[in-house]
A and B are shown apart, each in its own frame.
Chain A
Amino acid sequence: MSAPLLAVENLKVTFPSPSGPVDVVKGISFSLGRERLGIVGESGSGKSMTGRSILGLVRAPGKVSATRLEFDGMDLLKQGEKAMRKIRGARISMVMQDPKFSLNPVMTVGEQIAEALVAHKRLPRREIAARVRAMLEAVRINDPDRVAGLYPHEISGGMGQRVMIAMMLIPEPDILIADEPTSALDVSVQAQVLDIIDDLVRNKGMGLILISHDLNLVAHYCDRVLVMNSGRLVEDCAASELKNAQHPYTRGLLAAQPRLDETRDELPVIDRTTWSAT
């Protein structure tokens, strides 16, 4: 395989606390090509922070360090703010959890999508409008001209998340980080949104990092799965191999999943004593 799009080695994210600095990400390593990578883990396992540190968006007082954090041959940690701005959106983009909060309430959907494009490309107005329209169609919005003129409070959550995807993909980035893109949505629209992401990412040959706490979902939509627990990577395997996972945490998670043909009275609880000492 040629050099990966993104190479992460020994990534750490540290926050100060009254009782000394706390590592929320404790030195994880992985690489990403033009593939679909899933990161799963429970709340507070550091998966979101991993996504944000790639974009250089961990706000002070948080600190990011790594022996290697390379994107397309560039050392992300050495880029200045201005250089990072050129990477953000244009080359690495991120879809966030809840469109209710991640869309600006006082700007129309069209304005917000256009802004993402204009930030990186100088284009004639006509062309921008056409691209916004095409992008809205690509995320399967039926009436793009009408929707572009709406404000975020006038659209549903599912539509909001599709708008978010449109906004993040319009500059055609190389990597899309989807940070729990469906957690705030109804189950019925979750699959729809993920299918759209999957479709676009595959068609454009992008790299995808899908952050989620839903094992099944990640196994279904990704080629490779990383399992994180309290800031550490505990599992790195192909999605198809997940059933054969070795780490007790992953095994615990898998065992705790209810099945339709369930015969157990009680689902097992993860026994954390087996590895938390490490």
Chain B
Amino acid sequence: MATDTPFPDAGAQATRKRGGGARRTRKAALHLGGIAVSLIVTLLGLIAITFFIGRVVPIDPALAVVGDRAPKAVYEAARVQLGLDKPLIVQFVTYVKAVATGDLGMSVSTGRPVLQDLKEVFPATLEMATLGILIGIALGVPMGVHAAAKQGSLTDQVIRVVGLAGYAIPAFWLGLVGLAVFYARLQWVDGPGRVDIAYDGLVTPVTGLMLVDSLLAGETDIFFNAIGHLALPACILGFFSLAYIARMTRSFMLDQLAQEYITTARVKGLPERVVIWRHAFRPILLPLITVCALSYAALLEGSVMIETIFSWPGIGNYLTVALLNADMAAVLGATLLIGTVFIIINKVSDALYDVLDPRAR
């Protein structure tokens, strides 16, 4: 059993898992069912709130379609066509039914189904946000740990100032200065947009992620070009999430380092590196996952400022344009999508909790 491990527990646990296989499967199924139910309930609430807010704001969707110089008859026809003449509750039920069948309605500003729009804009945001959060985690976590381990030192101070800057510097300023320095002057990165105009539309979207699609199509030129375009906005998003992640990591670590079992680890004569990473860092993985998940979710909402400055055709941009055009179907659709992503990320981080924390099992 425990031939390749010094700890009998690994073998014992494997046996336990094998023995309770059927029960575990059932438990997992119940768990998934629970997730589905809470997802549906939360989304219903989200739809209701967004829907009714969308209807009570003094914006007339029909007017948005026909313009304010349209004859009354045309305006009325548009109202009927949009279903705005029916009672609010009927409109709501109709909308929920449509959403349940996967129909998010037509966008009046793009003239296309909202679902199709979202399929295009969301991957753009997803690509940037994912890269951003990876940068944020890869740098923020070690920075936070290091700052806590050397509390009060110069390194700690520098890391704290960097973190503070991440909070204090407005996104639009950093975006513009970043473009001016790294694109216009140094030419280290490419400018706004997802790829150079020459490459635009050359890659057939499969996943919608430019990096993946270009590789699938075997277009390495476009792949590297896309990286050049993605680098700066992703780094800026990464910087913002880094600020938060490093700060939280530092405070979690300081909490842990004051614990008695850290003294135990030192009494054992363990090197400081082991004390910090094995004994202090492992327990904070759990809260840290929540922090990273929330930062990721925030980035996935789409950073309107960054997307605007970098002409990034993402969901933040899409939502802003839709809102300004009173395009309620698009606003509702995008809000739903963001809500769903939020809930899924939270559920995934909860599931990771169960896996990582022996106390939660």
Interface residues of A (CB under 8 A from B): 55, 57, 81, 85-90, 93-94, 96-98, 101-108, 110-111, 114-116, 118-120, 125-126, 128-129, 132-133, 145-146, 148-151, 153, 164, 167-168, 171
Contacts and interface: CB of A to CB of B under 8 A. Distances in A.
Contacts of A120: 269
A72 B222 CA distance: 69
A111 B9 contact: yes
A85 B267 contact: no
Contacts of B3: 126
A145 B282 CA distance: 24
Q: Which 7 A-B pairs have the closest CB atoms?
A: A149-B9, A89-B269, A88-B269, A101-B260, A128-B6, A89-B268, A149-B12
Nearest to B16: A149
18 contacts: A57-B267, A85-B270, A97-B260, A101-B261, A102-B261, A104-B261, A104-B279, A106-B282, A106-B359, A107-B279, A108-B9, A119-B268, A119-B270, A125-B5, A133-B8, A149-B8, A153-B358, A153-B359
Given A96-B260, A106-B283, A129-B7, A55 B267 contact: yes
Q: B-side binding surface: helix, strand, loop or mixed?
A: helix
A90 B269 contact: yes
B168 to A, nearest CB: 31
Nearest to A101: B260
A89 B267 contact: yes
A230 B220 CA distance: 74
Nearest to A118: B6
Nearest to B9: A149
A102 B264 contact: yes
B252 to A, nearest CB: 13
Query: On chain B, which size bracket covers the interface?
Result: 20 to 34
Residue among A106, A146, A151 with most chain B CB within 10 A: A106
A111 B7 contact: yes
Contacts of B8: 110, 129, 133, 145, 148-149
A145 to B, nearest CB: 5
B271 interface: yes
A102 B266 CA distance: 11
A96 B7 contact: no
B172 to A, nearest CB: 42
Given A88-B269, A168-B267, A101 B359 contact: no
Contacts of A93: 267-268
A108 B12 CA distance: 12
Contacts of A57: 263, 266-267
B255 interface: no
B259 interface: yes
A148 B271 CA distance: 23
A164 B274 CA distance: 19
Nearest to A98: B260
B13 interface: yes
A207 B4 CA distance: 36
B2 interface: yes
Contacts of B274: 119
Interface string B1-26: 01111111110110000000000000
A148 B9 contact: yes
B264 A103 contact: yes
B358 A167 contact: no
Given A88-B269, A110-B9, A116-B268, 8 more contacts: A93-B268, A98-B260, A114-B6, A129-B5, A145-B12, A151-B358, A153-B359, A167-B268
Contacts of A106: 282-283, 356-359
B216 interface: no
A101 B259 contact: yes
Given A148-B7, A149-B13, A96 B2 contact: no
Given A103-B261, A108-B7, A151-B358, A88 B2 contact: no
A146 to B, nearest CB: 7
Residue among A86, A90, A105 with most chain B CB within 10 A: A105
Residue among B6, B7, B9, B279 with most chain A CB within 10 A: B6
